[in-house]
Amino acid sequence: MARPQTEAPLHSYLLTFMKNQNRTSAARRLAPLVLLPLSSLALAQQHAHTHGLLALDVAVDAQSITLTMEAPLDNFLGFERAPRTDAERKSVAAMVQQLNAADKLFVTDPRAECRLGKVTLASGVLGLGGEDKPAAATPEAPAKGAKAQDAHADIDVSIVFNCAKAPLARQIDVRMFDAFAHLRKIDAQVATDQGQFKRTLNKATPVLRWGR
């Protein structure tokens, strides 16, 4: 998708505003929420549908840590279409159950004192709904006309941790590689009041660290 022409000037304006207002806690809290969507667009365009790769964005706010990720379904299931057999349907149900238990896959820094909040899964080919629809343990059958034969289907995941001291977080222990054998690499971006950080994770180095 082409980036709107107004995005770059807006980005520059917001960066200048926050720099001039760096003595105010409000501006520091705003930074992750403003910058992350713009950088996420570039990351998504760079790594559009690459098997084995997961794009992960982390936004650290005053009282929450929000993770959003997009990846080919193949990373989780080994196929990218509606399930056709009982075994495939069981695989989908197991994936949904694992992702709903996100605090087992992403272990947040104990200093932040976080608890898992809302998990949202979206994949049209699997019948998983969007933001206003909870991720059921057993997904619905895809609606007629959905891309059931799409050979390149993705899944979008949003995970919110509610935290007492979110800004104290400096790492997340990512256990996705043990849970999903087809996953090879995670390209991560972290947005905090200290700035933005890019990291690459794999099975040998699964801990996402940032900050000072």
> What was the pLDDT predicted at 152?
67
**Got the DSSP string for 149-198?**
T-TT-EEEEEEEEEESSGGG--EEEE-HHHH-TT--EEEEEEEETTEEEE
C-alpha–C-alpha distance, residues 69 and 63, integer Å: 20
Question: In the 8-state DSSP scheme, what is residue 104?
Answer: H
How many CA atoms does the CB half-sphere of 88 hold within 13 Å?
12
Sketch the domain layout of the chain as residue ranges. Answer: 7-209
**151 pLDDT tier (thresholds 50, 70, 90):** low
Q: Residue 44, CB half-sphere, CA atoms under 13 Å: how many?
A: 18
Torsion from C-alpha of 15, 20, 23, 26, nearest 10 degrees = -50
Looking at residue 209, what is its pLDDT?
Answer: 97
DSSP 134: -
How far is it, in rounded angstroms, from Cα 206 to Cα 197? 16
pLDDT tens digits, 36-64: 444 444 444 444 567 799 999 999 999 99
User: Average pLDDT in the 180-200 region?
Assistant: 95
The secondary structure of 43-86, three-state, reads: HHHHCCCCCCEEEEEEEECCCEEEEEEEEECHHHHCCCCCCCCH
pLDDT at 93 over 70: yes
**At residue 200, what is the residue type?**
T
Predicted confidence at residue 130, as pLDDT, reads 54
